[in-house]
């Protein structure tokens, strides 16, 4: 194929993607994760521009990412010094970043959230363990009964608060 034709097609597709990504992001923000598996006009346009005309909302985002990565990988070999394509790729990168942030906020818990949940539940269990003299016999580390109760109470309360905030999300 003619390199000039490929360049024009790449510019046309990047312009479509850049125009439609904010609209797709708005759909995700307004309708939440329920919108992932639906078709929308922005998804269809992004899909066509990136090679998957039957893309659903979330799939369209991933197709746009693949197309961006493809063009970025050949940017310096094929379009070296082409400022227009460079600017469009930078704009696409920013648009994809915005949508990615929205998707991450909608998709659920991060690893930090999971770690916090495990620590909260562990704290509740440790608190119960230290508060129960029948289980420990108050011989854990030669701690006094009152200190064990205080430590157990603090761990139990911190654990309950942590569990509350974990499941409140």
Residues 75 and 122 in one domain: no
Domain C-terminal end among 90, 107, 124: 107
Assess contact for 123 and 49: CB atoms under 8 A. no
Q: At 148, is the pLDDT very low, low, confident or very high (cuts 50, 70, 90)?
A: confident
Residues 76 and 43 in one domain: yes
Residue ranges making up the domain that contains 127: 111-168
For the chain, the domain total comes to 2
Domain C-terminal end among 55, 76, 107: 107
Whether 140 has a pLDDT exceeding 60, the answer reads no
Domain C-terminal end among 107, 124, 153: 107
Structural tokens at position 156: 């139990």
Whether 60 has a pLDDT exceeding 60, the answer reads yes
* Average pLDDT, rounded, for the chain: 79
Give the per-residue pLDDT at 142.
58
Global pTM?
Answer: 0.59
Contacts 24+ apart (CB under 8 A), 162-166: 162/116, 162/117, 162/119, 162/120, 162/123, 163/117, 163/120, 163/121, 163/124, 165/116, 165/120, 166/113, 166/116, 166/117, 166/120
Residues 30 and 101 in one domain: yes
Residues 103 and 127 in one domain: no
Of residues 38 and 123, more confidence is placed in 123
Q: At 70, is the pLDDT very low, low, confident or very high (cuts 50, 70, 90)?
A: confident
């Amino acid at each position: 194929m003619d390199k000039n034709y490929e360049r024009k097609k790449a510019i046309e597709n990047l312009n479509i993607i850049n125009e439609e990504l904010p609209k797709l992001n708005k759909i995700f923000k307004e309708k939440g994760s329920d919108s992932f598996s639906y078709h929308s006009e922005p998804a269809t346009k992004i899909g066509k521009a990136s090679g998957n005309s039957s893309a659903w909302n979330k799939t369209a985002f991933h197709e746009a990412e693949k197309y961006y990565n493809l063009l970025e990988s050949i940017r310096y070999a094929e379009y070296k010094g082409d400022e227009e394509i460079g600017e469009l790729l930078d704009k696409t990168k920013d648009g994809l970043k915005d949508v990615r942030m929205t998707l991450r906020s909608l998709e659920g818990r991060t690893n930090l959230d999971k770690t916090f949940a495990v620590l909260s539940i562990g704290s509740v269990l440790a608190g119960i363990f230290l508060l129960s003299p029948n289980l420990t016999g108050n011989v854990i580390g030669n701690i006094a009964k009152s200190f064990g109760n205080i430590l157990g109470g603090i761990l139990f309360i911190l654990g309950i608060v942590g569990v509350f905030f974990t499941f409140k999300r």
